[in-house]
């Protein structure tokens, strides 16, 4: 495993992290036993960045990770635990219905996450989504108090605008920005956002680096998805878009065959080649995919190979938006 620093003075983490959301929600039925084995294997392979959020299963994912952390208490200092706050759920439907980044909620949310995780401090604390009605200075100022108290190590933001990033960083140093970034989704990061991050010394944590699993090549039909899998209602998996996107995966598969790796490994290696300040966090609940993803950190692509993969998924070729409309409305503030 290779390691990278998250931002100027931020924590050192594995070049490939692990997204834990799917262990509890969104991607089909949970399997706690296999997910724990996946976490054990990740640690064995040197994966140290574990990513969760209070919104994942309305706290269930943090609680699950907390149980595992208690079992692996001796390894706590090797790990960088990242979690997020800001999304609130309707108590009746269980769906996210609003964003709350008020100063009061910052402290309440942090205390709740600390209890669920069973830890004394959160290594990397994110604003999951931002309420544009709340000044980011208020939110980050309250988060900075948690840093001063030793409850949080470093601050981060997710899915925000360049302007918000600059204002937040002026209030307190930001270590990382979490954004969707993959061969399928480049416009969110590349350009003004990446330029700002590099100017300010902020790392990019790339979530959904495998196009929500499509870039692995293992999904050939929506029938491959569990009935409870959220991807069934996402635009890129819709019937009218699915076939076009699978054709792009086939193009990535062809390049991967030349490289002697899997399509997913090629996609992760492509991201890693974009700069030492990029850290992908592919999500999985299965050991075999943990092993496959971690091995991508050992792949060193040439400039020509990077270009081949870039051309395999031309700009604008991916069909469908990256989120349903309601979720898209909460992005980029």
- Asked if pLDDT for residue 313 goes beyond 80, the answer is yes
Q: What is the mean pLDDT of the chain?
A: 94
Q: Is residue 328 part of a domain?
A: no
Least confident residue range of 183-192, 261-270, 324-333 = 324-333
Mean pLDDT of 103-115: 97
User: Number of folded domains in the chain?
Assistant: 1
> 82 CB contacts (<8 Å, ≥6 apart)?
49, 50, 51, 52, 122, 123, 124, 125, 126, 156, 205
Q: Which CATH number characterizes residue 152's domain?
A: 3.20.20.100
Q: Which runs of consecutive H residues, i.e. helices, occur in the chain?
A: 32-44, 60-71, 103-117, 136-148, 162-171, 192-200, 239-259, 263-272, 287-295, 303-312, 325-328
Q: Is residue 106 part of a domain?
A: yes
Q: Is residue 240 part of a domain?
A: no
Q: Does residue 282 or residue 239 have the better pLDDT?
A: 282
56 catalytic per annotation = yes
- Asked if pLDDT for residue 26 goes beyond 90, the answer is no
Q: Is residue 100 part of a domain?
A: yes
Tokens, residue 101:
């980044």
Give yes or no for a contact between 279 and 6, defined as CB atoms under 8 angstroms apart: yes
- Asked if pLDDT for residue 69 goes beyond 90, the answer is yes
Mean pLDDT of 234-255: 94
Share of the chain above pLDDT 90, in %: 85
Q: Is residue 308 part of a domain?
A: no
Q: Is residue 323 part of a domain?
A: no
Q: Which of 27, 56, 181, 289 is catalytic?
A: 56
Tens of pLDDT, residue by residue over 27-43, are: 778 899 999 999 999 99
- Asked if pLDDT for residue 303 goes beyond 80, the answer is yes
Least confident residue range of 22-26, 50-54, 206-210, 240-244 = 22-26
Tokens, residue 65:
């990770």
pLDDT at position 93 = 67
Q: β-strands 122-127, 80-85: how paired?
A: parallel
> 328 CB contacts (<8 Å, ≥6 apart)?
321, 322
> Given pLDDT bands bounded at 50, 70 and 90, which one contains residue 234?
confident
Q: Is residue 245 part of a domain?
A: no
Structural domain of 151: 3-213+269-299
Beta bridge partners of 332: none
- Asked if pLDDT for residue 254 goes beyond 70, the answer is yes
Tens of pLDDT, residue by residue over 78-94, are: 999 999 999 988 776 66
Mean pLDDT of 166-181: 98
């Amino acid at each position: 495993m290779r390691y990278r620093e998250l931002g100027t003075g931020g924590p050192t983490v594995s070049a490939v992290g692990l997204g834990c959301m799917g262990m509890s929600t969104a991607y089909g039925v949970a399997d706690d036993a296999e997910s724990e084995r996946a976490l054990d294997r990740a640690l064995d392979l040197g994966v140290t960045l574990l990513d969760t959020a209070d919104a994942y299963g309305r706290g269930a994912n943090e609680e699950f990770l907390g149980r595992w952390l208690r079992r692996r208490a001796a390894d706590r200092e090797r790990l960088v635990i990242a979690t997020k706050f800001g999304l609130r759920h309707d108590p009746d439907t269980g769906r996210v219905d609003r964003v709350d980044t008020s100063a009061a909620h910052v402290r309440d949310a942090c205390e709740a996450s600390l209890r669920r995780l069973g830890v004394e401090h959160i290594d990397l604390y994110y604003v999951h989504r931002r309420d544009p009605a709340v000044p980011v200075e208020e939110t980050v100022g309250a988060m900075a108090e948690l840093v001063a108290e030793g409850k949080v190590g470093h601050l981060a933001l997710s899915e925000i605008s360049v302007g918000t990033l600059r204002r937040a960083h002026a209030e307190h140093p930001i270590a990382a920005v979490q954004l969707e970034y993959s061969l399928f989704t480049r416009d969110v990061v590349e350009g003004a956002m990446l330029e700002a991050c590099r100017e300010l010394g902020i790392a990019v944590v790339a979530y959904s680096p495998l196009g929500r699993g499509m870039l692995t090549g293992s999904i050939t039909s929506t029938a491959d998805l569990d009935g409870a899998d959220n991807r069934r209602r996402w635009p890129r998996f819709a019937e009218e878009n699915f076939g076009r996107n699978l054709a792009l995966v086939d193009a990535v598969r062809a390049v991967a065959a030349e490289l002697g790796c899997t399509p997913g490994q090629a996609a992760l290696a492509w991201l890693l080649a974009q700069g030492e300040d990029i850290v992908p966090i592919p999500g999985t609940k299965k050991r075999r995919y943990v092993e496959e993803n971690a091995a991508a950190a050992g792949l060193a692509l040439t400039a020509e190979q990077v270009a081949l993969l870039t051309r395999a998924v031309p700009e604008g070729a991916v069909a469908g938006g990256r989120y349903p409309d309601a979720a898209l409305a909460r992005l980029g503030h």
